Amino acid sequence: MSRSTTTPTTTQHSDEDVILEVSDLTVSFDMDRGTSRVLNGVEMDIRRGEILGIVGESGSGKSMFASALLNAVVEPGQTDGDITYRPPEGEPVDVLDLGKRDLRNLRWEDISMVFQGAMSSFNPTMDFREHFVETLEAHDYDVAAGLDRARELLADLYLDPERVMDSYPHELSGGMKQRALIALALVLEPEVLVMDEPTAALDLLMQRSIISLLSDLRDKYDLTMVFITHDLPLVTKLADRIGVLYAFEFAEVGETTELVSDPKHPYTRALLNATPNLDAPLSEMRPIEGSAPDPVNVPAGCPYHERCPMATPRCEDDKPDMEAASATHEVACHHWRDVDDEISLSTGVDR
């Protein structure tokens, strides 16, 4: 659950409930025109066994959040704060303090990631069997047992294991490559799977199919998943909770049903009202006016105030803390109690 240094969390969870604890996470890049902060003091507790959806516009910090969870922000990016991984057994692990070897092992064996674009994730000169073998050997895993697990995972993803094993990347469709990449990410039996826009390049039908398969995989393998996307309707079909990122910080976090049916942040309402819906006329769709802040020049106060129809002078000067809207729902907005009266929900995803 997201947390604030000045506001209590809505619900207290024991360490056993939390598999990844993110505290005051900042990612910055030094540029000629100033420091670009692409994550700014982010707080999030990721619960064991949940599917957490991370949603926001392009440039909101979603991909940086995904990379930071594995301490994989590319140079010259600087990652600061704390990320603690709590394995099922043993002591907590400070992810940002690991050496290269331990970090490499953590990234595949404990926390694995599926990046955007399956094609660029595979060596075109190697068949898929070689990709699996290379990964297993690099981590000193039993290759025969690992290939058996790979076949099971491929079958779980409705692929023909032997056909895939004998194929080269160019011989499979985009949806098949994406599913093979998920199987590769899970072959070392990680506890956490982080996915950064894994369905962005796929057609609508294949997106929905993979969403359904991911839910089944979570249940079968007791996985924790973090699903990064700009597609709010898509993630509501999968996630137990959703965190809405705006301007490199969380604006709202809550259980999916509550957040979608009763969003409290004006930005979340704007996202929902900009989402096509067959039950509402096209004329009622409302694009979000303006643009997200420049990471070098985020405005003082609430970062959304320049685009917000509810903004007051307080919003321009006073940055809101995350506070409880309910036992399962948090929001960073001075005026969230008035949002129902001020911004109606006319369109959006299923509510």
Residue 169 domain flag:
no
pLDDT, tens digit, 9 for 90 and up, residues 187-234 = 999 999 999 988 877 788 888 888 889 999 999 999 999 999 988 888
pLDDT at 275 over 80: no
Residue 350 pLDDT class (50, 70, 90 cuts) = low
Q: Please give the pLDDT value at position 12.
A: 46
Residue 11 pLDDT class (50, 70, 90 cuts) = very low
Residue 90 domain flag:
no
Mean pLDDT, range 94-113, rounded to an integer? 95
Residue 223 domain flag:
no
Residue 300 domain flag:
yes
- pLDDT exceeding 70 applies to what percent of the chain? 90
Q: Please give the pLDDT value at position 351.
A: 47
Mean pLDDT, range 276-304, rounded to an integer? 75
pLDDT at 9 over 60: no
Range of the domain at 262: 257-342
| Residue owning tokens 């924790």 | 224
Residue 306 domain flag:
yes
State both tokens at 298.
């985020």
- pLDDT exceeding 90 applies to what percent of the chain? 72
Q: Please give the pLDDT value at position 65.
A: 96
Q: Please give the pLDDT value at position 8.
A: 33
pLDDT at 131 over 90: yes
Please provide the average confidence, as pLDDT, over all residues in the chain.
Answer: 89
pLDDT at 13 over 60: no
pLDDT, tens digit, 9 for 90 and up, residues 27-76 = 999 988 888 999 999 999 999 999 999 999 888 999 999 999 999 999 89
What predicted TM-score, i.e. pTM, was given to this entire model?
0.90
pLDDT at 1 over 80: no
Residue 331 domain flag:
yes
Residue 267 domain flag:
yes
pLDDT at 264 over 80: yes
Alpha-carbon separation of residue 224 from 58, 79, 118, 175, 219 (angstroms): 24, 23, 21, 22, 10
Q: Please give the pLDDT value at position 139.
A: 94
Q: Please give the pLDDT value at position 181.
A: 94
Report how many domains make up the chain.
1
Residue 279 pLDDT class (50, 70, 90 cuts) = low
Alpha-carbon separation of residue 285 from 105, 278, 349 (angstroms): 47, 11, 12
Residue 186 pLDDT class (50, 70, 90 cuts) = very high
Residue 30 domain flag:
no
* Between residues 284 and 35, the one the model is more confident about: 35
pLDDT, tens digit, 9 for 90 and up, residues 250-261 = 999 999 999 999
Q: Please give the pLDDT value at position 14.
A: 54
